[in-house]
């Protein structure tokens, strides 16, 4: 268990203020941490201690029960200065939402209590070697003593190096219901130090280098039934589960775009030389640079605006499924997914374009390796690979043309 004394946040204003303070502090050494791949253990402890990681815990369990839009704003603020730190708790909030939707009363009391005390959850979900990312090879096998055995290997386990609990995606094939559970996908909540669990620091992506997104192996790991939560109740039903998860990804991208724009403007004001044909003393007075900065500012503002709109829609679905649309929960969840897909496309475009244009407006000096300004582009390019926006265009187009709702699979 993370050894921090976590504060209790009770309001959206308090959460935003805490995020602003931490973002400013994290900005100081963000470039150095990225350059040297220094894992942000101290920073994560500060994030836990701030109480921000518990802001979605329901009020009945002692939390602030803040809506998704507030969580997204916290992510956006943190991502503008260090998107690595912003991405680390992504799965933490996703699995708190799973717990809220599908956990038993006892499970919610246990894990919400741990999070209120500063505990952190990370994912062990993705696999390699299967035909698609949706296929799960990690098995959950019932044992004679009533426990289960987990075997498998997980990759891209963001935050696992900093976690107290790993949320492990597994598959139970038990047609005879020997275990007493229905076959299907389950999330196993495992303490990170469980026997048979190995967490390897082998993430070598060009961006998001300090997210702790390495490999987790599970070798004859034992788990009790009260550590298992069926995934179908959240993912295969119109709960807004996927829209909430995707909203946080969009917030990270929007934050990267804002951070890149701020860095570009600061560099132009303080370090760039004007092009001689502009006949001005300062680069910030070059009319062509002004024009381009204005264009980039509009792109970032559009990303932030669509994120805000999507956040409000997801808030309604999470707070009261079925209230956001006249046709009930299915229509509400579809509306949220389309709104978030729009926000994700806009933020994806903004993060990649603005982080590349940073060099365009700043000039040759900005390409110096010691400045590490390329971290904005590397982080944007890496994080936006999480799920392809080309499929989001498809779902939006089908909804507009044919009224076809997007699928319920957790990534739309």
Distance CA 7, CA 21 (A): 14
Q: Exposed, middle or buried: residue 26 (CB in 10 Å: 0-12, 13-18, 19+)?
A: buried
Residues of the chain with CATH 1.10.540.10: 12-120
> Do 220 and 178 form a contact (C-beta atoms < 8 A)?
no
CATH for 237-402 is 1.20.140.10
* Residues pairing with 222 in the sheet: 149
Beta-strand pair 197-200/214-223: antiparallel
Q: What is the pLDDT of residue 3?
A: 62
Displacement of CA 277 from its chain's centroid (Å): 45
> Do 156 and 202 form a contact (C-beta atoms < 8 A)?
no
Q: Enumerate the H helices of 182-240 as residue ranges.
A: 232-235
Distance CA 343, CA 348 (A): 8
- pLDDT beneath 70: ranges in the chain: 1-3, 175-176, 321-327
Quick one: fold of 139-231? Answer: Butyryl-CoA Dehydrogenase, subunit A; domain 2 (2.40.110)
Residues of the chain with CATH 2.40.110.10: 139-231
Distance CA 410, CA 10 (A): 29
* Residues pairing with 358 in the sheet: none
Q: DSSP secondary-structure letter at 66?
A: -
pLDDT per position as a tens digit, 151-195: 999 999 999 999 999 999 999 988 667 778 899 999 999 999 999
Residues of the chain with CATH 1.20.140.10: 237-402
CATH for 12-120 is 1.10.540.10
> Do 229 and 112 form a contact (C-beta atoms < 8 A)?
no
């Amino acid at each position: 268990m993370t050894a921090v004394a976590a504060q209790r946040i009770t309001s959206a204003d308090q959460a935003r203020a805490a995020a602003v303070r931490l973002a400013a502090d994290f900005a100081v050494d963000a470039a150095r941490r990225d350059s040297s791949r220094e894992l942000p253990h101290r920073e994560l402890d500060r994030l836990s201690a701030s109480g921000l990681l518990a802001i979605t815990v329901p009020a009945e369990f002692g939390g602030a029960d803040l809506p998704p839009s507030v969580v997204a704003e916290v992510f956006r603020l943190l991502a503008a200065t260090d998107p690595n730190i912003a991405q680390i708790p992504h799965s933490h909030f996703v699995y708190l939402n799973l717990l809220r939707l599908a956990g038993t009363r006892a499970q919610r009391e246990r894990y919400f209590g741990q999070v209120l005390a500063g505990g952190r959850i990370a994912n062990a979900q993705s696999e390699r070697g299967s035909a698609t990312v949706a296929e799960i090879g990690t098995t959950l096998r019932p044992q004679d003593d009533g426990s289960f055995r987990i075997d498998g290997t997980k990759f891209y386990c963001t935050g696992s190096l900093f976690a107290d609990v790993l949320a492990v995606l597994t598959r139970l094939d038990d047609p005879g219901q020997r275990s007493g559970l229905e076959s299907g996908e389950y999330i196993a909540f495992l303490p990170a130090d469980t026997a048979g669990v190995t967490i390897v620091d082998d993430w070598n992506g060009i961006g998001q280098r300090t997210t702790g997104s390495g490999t987790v192996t599970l070798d004859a790991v034992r788990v009790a039934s009260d550590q298992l939560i069926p995934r179908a109740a959240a993912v295969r039903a119109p709960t807004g589960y996927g829209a909430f998860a995707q909203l946080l990804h969009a917030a990270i991208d929007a934050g990267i775009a804002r951070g890149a724009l701020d860095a570009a403007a600061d560099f132009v004001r303080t370090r760039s030389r004007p092009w001689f044909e502009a006949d001005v003393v300062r680069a910030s007075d070059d009319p062509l640079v002004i024009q381009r900065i204005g264009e980039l500012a509009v792109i970032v503002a559009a990303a932030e605006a669509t994120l805000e709109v999507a956040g409000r829609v997801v808030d309604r679905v999470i707070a009261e499924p079925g209230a956001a649309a006249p046709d009930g929960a299915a229509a509400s969840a579809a509306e949220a997914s389309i709104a978030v897909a729009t926000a994700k496309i806009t933020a994806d475009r903004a993060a990649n374009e603005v982080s590349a244009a940073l060099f365009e407006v700043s000039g040759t000096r900005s390409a110096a390796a010691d400045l590490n300004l390329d971290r904005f582009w590397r982080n944007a390019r890496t994080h936006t690979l999480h799920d392809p926006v080309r499929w989001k265009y498809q779902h939006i187009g089908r909804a507009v043309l044919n009224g076809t709702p997007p699928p319920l699979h957790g990534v739309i």
